[in-house]
Structure 1
Amino acid sequence: MTDPLELPAGEYDLALFPADAADASGEPLLSAMDVAVPAGANATVVAHLKEDGSPTLTPFVNDTSAVPAGEGRVTVRHVAAAPAVDVRAGGEVIIDGLTNPNEESLTVPAGTVSADVVLAGTDTVAIGPADLSVAEGAHTIVYAWDSGAAGYDLAVQTVSGTHSAPSGVPGGSAGLADEGSSLPMVAALPVVGLAVAGAGAVRLARTRG
């Protein structure tokens, strides 16, 4: 994951290239046209695999609304080439039947949570267990990503400042049309505008008109 990029509100054409593309030119791995960046939004665009293993780009709007004192917000996003999963904390299911490319959020006491991801309705562990640090007043976003062939993994993004007044638009997700070849990785674009992962180079072009 990379640092956020602040952008003027508007629509952008987004293209993802291999990291060794000298000037972010040539045929992109993935692209999405007319991606809307609303004024004041805080969002993440993720390059990932669909459940069937094909690559895609999915935008998520990060919830920056306030949480109570002593608590933090945790969001789990399913962006792995995998069927529905359950998320457990301390052995108890806290999110059930989460499918790619959807998300669910919880507000929990700040501290360390031991969690794992299992195939929905089973005890078959796909990821974890792993200790997740939840900071007070922060939004901790966990991505379940990659594939069974490559090995499932977790990526964590933190959006701070949710103890204060909202500075973005509460979330949700939507798919975007994709182009290009296999992409067994995650590229996250945390957007106070947009940003991208070190696995690739991103080109942004402002849509005119």
Structure 2
Amino acid sequence: MTKRLALITGASRGLGAALAEQLAAGGWHVVAVARTVGGLEELDDRVKTLKLPGAGGLTLAPMDVINDDAMRHLCLSIHQRWGKLDLWVHTAIHAAPLAPAGSLDVKDWDKSIATNVRATGMLIPMIEPLLRAGDGSAMFFDDPRAGEKFFGAYGATKAAQIALARSWAAENANIGPQVRIETPAPMPTATRARFFPGEDRAPLIHPRDEAARLINLL
């Protein structure tokens, strides 16, 4: 297989879906991971309608990143089929509803830790060998909300995720894989709508445009 191979965790909507679509249009083969089967199927339909010369394709992987066994099996399958990864883009996130720190919902807190922190810590050791085999790189996305009012669950766990990614980046600066941490422009995503209902979305950057900018950084 000569096409470059990307794994996108959290690929069913928002920035993850836009990055998957843009990469596939640019000739990459994308392994798209998400819990939402319908979102993945819609992504697949959009990619198929592109019909661009040299376009890549998709492998849909409907699974939850917090399922260690499923993700381990996926990484093994990637190794057996392709032997490497050129890129891992991690957009999977749990955006807990805004709430005072004194009123955090236990289920949302646990899910935030499981998705935003623990899954990241489990995925890095699984994916690192595949990236090294392909001289690949990883990309994470910062959203610095830690310490803001009502962002306790999301802000704390997102900050922990990025701290883990920064450690990984520093550890591999000389040996690879390269780990990039970017801060995307504000986009009219479902996640942002949960945080800022009623916001004027007209000035926000479309995820497709932001995805194109981020891909150019690679």
TM-score (norm 1): 0.28
Could you say which structure has the higher helix fraction? 2
TM-score (norm 2): 0.27
Quick one: higher RCO (CA 8 Å, sep 6+), 1 or 2? 1
